[in-house]
């Protein structure tokens, strides 16, 4: 399949980050290998913003998805990392440095009427005293990780907890 250079650049960055991700869900790497031959939905990317104690996460109250990490669709010419950082800024006002290694790769549909696509999760550590500035109608807030949150993606709390467990193990090892 022939792609324009902007699409190819985004795709190459997504493949690289998918391979580097700490966690894999939904057999995402295998899905991506088979999906490369066809046109795809735009990728999704989000940021798991955690406090330094790894006890809280920033979530955005989406109008119909419920509480979700800040994120969204990757725009033409953006790498997933760039798109995640842009979405984080737009939805929370935060501009931290994202951790080097992507947190997770998954396959999901972002709307009931849309097919599945690749979703990359990045992480950042932020002081919870830093003010949040959400979009109109989509407030950003801190939520404890030991509590569940209502979301269109009910597996998200456990996935983030798995990542936190991996971060803690890395810090000890």
Q: Averaged in consecutive runs of 10 residues, what is the pLDDT profile of the chain (173 residues)?
A: 71 94 96 85 93 98 91 91 97 97 94 89 97 90 94 93 96 76
Helix (H) or strand (E) run with residue 49 in it: strand 44-50
Joined together, the tokens standing for residue 48 give 């798991």
Q: Are 22 and 103 in contact (CB under 8 A)?
A: yes
Query: DSSP label at 103?
Result: -
Owning domain of residue 92: 5-172
- CATH code of 99's domain: 3.90.79.10
68 phi and psi angles, rounded to 5 deg: -140, 155
Per-residue model confidence (pLDDT) at position 1: 54
Per-residue model confidence (pLDDT) at position 171: 82
CA distances from residue 138 to 9, 126, 147, 159, 170 in whole angstroms, order as listed: 31, 20, 20, 23, 33
Per-residue model confidence (pLDDT) at position 93: 96
Q: How far apart are CA 151 and CA 134, in angstroms?
A: 18
Per-residue model confidence (pLDDT) at position 130: 95
Give the number of domains in the chain: 1
Residue 2, helix vs strand vs coil: coil
Per-residue model confidence (pLDDT) at position 31: 93
Helix (H) or strand (E) run with residue 39 in it: none
């Amino acid at each position: 399949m022939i792609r324009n250079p902007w699409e190819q650049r985004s795709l190459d960055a997504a493949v690289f980050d998918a391979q580097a991700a700490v966690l894999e869900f939904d057999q995402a790497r295998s899905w991506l290998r088979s999906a490369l031959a066809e046109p795809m939905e735009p990728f999704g990317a989000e940021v798991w913003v955690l406090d330094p104690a790894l006890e809280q996460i920033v979530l955005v109250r989406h109008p119909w998805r419920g509480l979700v990490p800040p994120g969204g669709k990757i725009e033409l010419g953006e790498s997933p990392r760039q798109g995640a950082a842009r979405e984080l800024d737009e939805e929370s006002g935060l501009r931290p440095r994202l951790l080097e290694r992507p947190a997770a790769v998954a396959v999901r549909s972002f709307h009931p009427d849309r097919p599945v696509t690749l979703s990359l999760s990045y992480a950042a550590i932020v002081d919870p005293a830093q003010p949040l500035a959400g979009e109109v109608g989509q407030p950003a807030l801190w939520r404890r990780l030991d509590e569940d949150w209502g979301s269109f993606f009910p597996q998200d709390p456990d996935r983030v907890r798995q990542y936190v467990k991996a971060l803690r193990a890395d810090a000890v090892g």
